[in-house]
Structures are given as C-alpha cells and as structure tokens.
Amino acid sequence: MGAKLLCLVLASALLAYSVYIPVPEVFEEPWKVMFIMASFRVLGRLAEVTDQLGLVHYTKLMKLIIHLEYVPPTSDENVTVTDTKFSNVPVRLYLPRRPSDGLRRAVIYFHGGGWCTGHPGMKSYDCLTRRTSNRLNAVVVSVNYRLAPEYRFPVQFEDAYSVTKFFLQSSVLSQYRVDPDRVCVAGDSAGGNLAAAVAQQVKKKDEDSEVEPKLKAQALIYPPLQALDLNLPSYREHENSCMSPKLFMVRLWSDYFTSDSSLPEAMASNRHVPAESSHLFQFVNWSNLLPEEMKKDHVYTSPVYGSSELALEHLGFLDPRAAPLLVSDAQLRGLPPTYILTCEYDILRDDGVMYARRLQAAGVPVTHFHAKDAFHGMMSFISGPASLAVGHRLLNRYIEWLNENL
C-alpha cells in the first residue's frame, strides 16, 4: 500500500512538471503530440524512480502496457486471426479471406519494445499486422518472441530466427498457400533490429544451403543496429527526447545482454568497447557514413576504449546478431531489397541512415525514407485516441513499398 501511494504521489508531481513540452514546429497535430510526449515522459520518469528506489524493475512497468493494450485474436470479414506456435514459439497468424488467383505473399513481423516489452496482441500491433494482411492479401506471421530481462540475447534473436526458418520450409509454405519466392521479414524498433539480424542469418545459411528459399525483402522501421558508438550525432541531438532518451536506450541495450550494472555505466560514457575490437569502429564511422546535413557541426573523435573483461563477459554487443551494422561489406552483399524508415527526432536515426548507406554501397537495392516530421515509434500510433495522421502516412508508405517489392 505504501509503495502504491508513493507511486501515485510521484506520478502526480511528475505529471504536473512534465505536461508542457515544446513540440517542434514541423509536427502536425501538436497538441496530441505534446500529450503523447508528456505521457511517455511521465511513464519514463516513474519507471526510473521506482526502479532506483528498488520498488519495481522498470521493465515490469513497461510490460504493463501489454496488458492494457491486449486484444485477443479476433477474425473479421477480411482476415482470419489465430494464435498458434511455430517451432515452439508463439505467433499470431493473419490469414486473408479474400480469394487469391495464385499463391500468396507473406510477411514475418517482429514487434518493437526494446527487447523487453511488446506483444503481437497489442492493439497497435494487431491493427498494423491486420491492415498489412488485408491490403496485401498476404499471410502475416507476428512473432511473440521471449523478452528481457527474463530472457536475454540471443534468445530473442533465436526465437525470431527459428520462426523464420520454420515458416520457410516448403511443407509449411504450401500449407498456407504461400509463394516461396515472396516472403519477407519486417519489424519496428527492436523488431527492426531482429528483422535485420534474421535477414543476415538467412543469407548466411542460404550460402551454406541450410535454409531455403531466400527472403524477397526486408523492411526495417527505425531500427537500433549497433551499440558500439553511443555518441552519434543523433544521440547527441536527441539525448533527452521523450520517446527514446539516451540513458533509457543504454538501459535497454545493456538489459538485452546482462544484469551487470557495470555495462550500462560504461555505455553511458561510451567507454565500453575494448581495444581488441577497434576494427569494428570502421563499420559505424559516422564521419564517413552520414550525409553533411546530419553531421552538421558535430566533431568526430576517435573511440575511447574500455576494459576487455567487460566485453568478454557480455560479448553480445559486439555480435552482429545483436548489432547488424557490425558486419563487413562482403557480408552485406546479396542481402534482399530493403526498406528503411528513419525519423528525424530519434536517437536511433543515424543507425538506420548508416545501414542504408552501407547496404547501398554493397549493391543492395535500398529505399530509405527519412521522415522529418516524426519521432521514434510513430508508426505504432495508428489506433485509439493516440492515433496520429503521420502514423497512418508512415504505415501506408511501408505497405505501399511492400506491395511493390514483395
């Protein structure tokens, strides 16, 4: 009771303090955006405070949103929706009802939520995947991978990859009448990270002819793609943004790998990479990889190295299955046509921009759409009172790209 009362008092104080946030002029619907930003700021602060007081781990508060937003699998006149399991991983399956002339296309979708929250059954994700299925007359597999901190890297990746491998089997594809040459992976935020990592793994295994067929495309929606350099221009400019402030992102990254608090401390000061791994910095060198308008007058400084013990214990953050930007150009060659959405008001902006640039240089067809009037996560604001016109536009653009490229 004491803890609850304390939370309530803290929440009210924070609400009063946080409501007014200047919203950049480029944003449409500024009042709605301000309200959304304020709510996220309050939630973020509340999670931070209760976590520091040792009351509740912040991920518990973040998981609450799953329960608040949960909708059971519900079919409608266009799409049959069921919860099932693929390769022992729970998935929500969307099967279009409209007849199809031939075999159907398919999208394997990974939701966002910082590897520690999110669910295919959240209203916003259900709406997104349902609409994708209906508009493309495609089968959509929305993957309910296991979450941190109960499960850590590589579990999230392994779940995402096993579902993909399972679905790509010819017997499964034919059961759902899916064209083996028209399957893609897609995901937003942490889900975009998983989609990029899965696409790399499928390509790698395909070269060893272990997984067939290939993926037709990948769509990466504001993905985090590396935790090597956490001082990119976008990190500097949006360090205190409401949706994904730097210290929060550091926490999400480190909780993906370990409970050891020395990792987030080292990451916060960008001294977490050991000198032995210095060769990896070329893959995230923003001084070469960002366009001038994003570099602005930020000054590139050489990396400062940390202790090797740290990395040896938590090798995850140097592993391309967690950080798809950390592979060589040769390993990028042959990846499927790619859609990347980045948002201007997002610390993860530069991860996506650099990946688009590197894929292009490796000869991969890339459609990079940079939304100048959007913040991190905006493509999920498509249902209920928090529905935003820009969210619908971003979603339509993504579906249009899939329609033309899948």
Task: Determine whether 368 is an active site residue.
Answer: no
Considering beta carbons, is residue 25 or 77 the nearer one to ligand NAG?
Answer: 77
Q: Which of 82, 240, 288, 396 binds ligand NAG (CB under 6 A)?
A: 288
> For helices 123-136 and 389-405, what crossing angle results, to 10°?
40
Element spanning 90, H or E: strand 89-96
Question: Which residue number, 287 or 308, has a Cβ lying nearer to ligand NAG?
Answer: 287
Nearest CB to ligand NAG, comparing residues 59 and 133? 133
For 300, counting Cβ atoms within 10 Å of its Cβ (0-12 exposed, 13-18 middle, 19+ buried), the class is middle
Per the CB < 8 A criterion, the answer to whether 145 and 187 are in contact is no
Name the residue nearer to ligand NAG (CB basis): 137 or 262: 137
Exposed (0-12), middle (13-18) or buried (19+): which is 368, by Cβ within 10 Å?
Answer: middle
Round to whole Å and give the CA distance between 341 and 311: 30
Q: At what angle do helices 155-167 and 190-207 cross, to 10 degrees?
A: 60
Secondary structure letter of residue 259 according to DSSP: S
Q: Quote the least distance from Cβ 287 to ligand NAG, whole Å.
A: 4
- 282: contact with ligand NAG by CB under 6 A: yes
CB-based burial, 173-202: b 16+ in 10 Å, e otherwise: beeeebbbebbbbbbbbbbbbbbbbbbbbb
CA separation, residue 382 to residues 41, 119, 144, 288 (Å): 20, 16, 20, 36
- Closest C-alpha to 197, from 75, 332, 94: 332
Residue number, 98 or 333, with CB nearest to ligand NAG: 98
Asked about 346 being catalytic, the answer comes back as yes
Cβ(221)–Cβ(379) under 8 Å? yes
Quick check: 76 binds ligand NAG (CB under 6 A)?
yes
- Helix (H) or strand (E) holding 372, with range, is strand 366-375
As given in the structure block, the two tokens for residue 120 are 């295919």
Which of 346, 351, 380, 383 is an active site residue? 346
Stretch that binds ligand NAG, among 22-30, 31-39, 280-288, 324-332 (CB under 6 A): 280-288
| Interface segment toward ligand NAG; rule CB under 6 A; list 101-109, 205-213, 283-291, 339-347 | 283-291
* Least distance between ligand NAG and beta carbon 274 (Å): 14
| Per-residue interface string for the shown chain with ligand NAG, residues 130-169, x marking contact by CB under 6 A | ----x-----------------------------------
Given the complex with ligand NAG, which of 189 and 383 has the nearer CB atom? 383
Give the residue with the Cβ less far from ligand NAG, 81 or 147.
81
Residue 54: strand pairing partners: none
Q: How far is the CB of 160 from ligand NAG (least distance, A)?
A: 27
Which region among 28-36, 99-107, 158-166, 279-287 touches ligand NAG (by CB under 6 A)?
279-287
Residue 189 among the catalytic residues: yes
Residues 287, 307, 308, 396: which binds ligand NAG (CB under 6 A)? 287
- Contact between 305 and ligand NAG by CB under 6 A: the answer reads no
User: Distance between CA atoms of 283 and 325, rounded to whole angstroms?
Assistant: 6
Residue 78 binds ligand NAG (CB under 6 A): yes
Q: Does 124 bind ligand NAG (CB under 6 A)?
A: no
Residues 312, 258 contacting (CB under 8 angstroms): no
The distance of closest approach from Cβ of residue 64 to ligand NAG in the complex, given in angstroms and rounded to an integer, is 28
Q: How far is the CB of 136 from ligand NAG (least distance, A)?
A: 11
Strands 338-345 and 366-375: parallel
* Residues in contact with ligand NAG by the rule CB under 6 A: 76-78, 134, 281-282, 285, 287-288
Catalytic residues, by residue number, are 189, 346, 376
